[in-house]
Amino acid sequence: MTDTPTILFVCVHNAGRSQMAAGYARTLSRGRIRVLSGGSEPGDAINPVAVQAMAEDGVDITAAVPQLLTADQVRESDAVITMGCGDACPIFPGKRYEDWELTDPAGKPIDQVRLIRDDIKSRVAALLEELFASSSESSAIDA
């Protein structure tokens, strides 16, 4: 792993789950990791209900834009977290992969998106704890 770990969050549209996870990774680590996100079939815009749910928890993802997942992103990453992209995510040897089974927030009411948000937050916090466990960076997590 490099001095600054890189985490890639991937979902199909890169408009909800992966953007929420990326927002939490940036916030909870206080910028001490490099965060990438992408989608196998990127949407046109970020899910506005996901933006609202994140804003309620103090995380601003309004500037996020859905991006197409690239092999370069996977190559550059220490950890690749997928959320329903299936076989569309390229696999490279030596990378850490996790698949988080999360409900897609698209079309869901805010009360359901809040539950998805909270699940993502706890998973991101646990991932950061693992990544920083062997370094003095563990105190850098604001879970």
* Domains of the chain: residue spans and CATH: 6-131 (3.40.50.2300)
Of 85, 116, 127, 128, the active-site residue reads 85
Q: Give Cβ neighbours of residue 21 (< 8 Å, ≥ 6 apart).
A: 9, 37, 81, 83, 100, 120, 123, 124
pLDDT, residue 94, reads 80
**What does the pLDDT look like over 39-69, one tens digit per residue?**
989 999 999 999 999 999 999 999 999 999 9
Give the whole-number percent of the chain exceeding pLDDT 70: 87
**From 7, 10, 11, 74, the catalytic residue:** 11
- pTM of the entire structure? 0.89
Instruction: Judge whether 11 counts as a catalytic residue.
Output: yes
> Higher-confidence residue: 29 or 84?
29
Comparison of pLDDT for 34 and 139, the residue scoring more: 34
Whether the Cβ atoms of residue 50 and residue 83 lie closer than 8 Å to each other? no
